[in-house]
Amino acid sequence: DNTNSFLDRFGTKSDGNTHPVNDCDDDQSIDQSYLFRPGQLSTLKRTTFQLCDIQIDQVQQIIHENDGHELECTEKDGWLSKGSMDRIRAIMNRELSLIINDTDLLHEHSQTLNTVDVLPENIEISEVYDEDLGIYHH
């Protein structure tokens, strides 16, 4: 069935009635600290997220822009459209920069954070090209 996306066909499990069940959409089964949300800091130290855990509308649009039309799986972008991972990385870097520069947010989370971890010189943000804006982001 070409109307189903690749994720619907292969990235989900069945509920027993041949309906796909996407584990990533079940908020009750996910520890919420694993989600990447705009303007929110995670209490966990990590540098990787599953694509389904990135709750930024623009990122989810990129992830699903070629649903049902996957032609090639590449090492860099997987089944996503060419350049998708760079675009997603640019959006996430922009979101992280906003969080880093939001001192009120940092003070709000100061009890759960090691202050050294959130100092700008200790945060590594890669430079990627944002095709939508036509510029490089750090």
Task: Indicate the residue type of 14.
Answer: S
Instruction: Specify the pLDDT at position 80.
Output: 92
Domain boundaries, the chain: 45-137
3 pLDDT more than 80: no
For tokens 């675009």, the residue is 87
pTM value is 0.51
Average pLDDT, the chain: 66
Q: Which residues make beta-bridge pairs with 135?
A: 130
Coil, helix or strand at residue 129: strand
Per-residue pLDDT band for 106 (boundaries 50, 70, 90) equals: low
Question: Buried b / exposed e across 110-137, counting CB within 10 Å, b at 16+?
Answer: eeebeeeebeeeeeeeeebebeeeeeeb
User: Residue 35: is its pLDDT beyond 50?
Assistant: yes
pLDDT of residue 62: 93
CA distance 12 to 49: 18
- Average of per-residue pLDDT across 48-59: 84
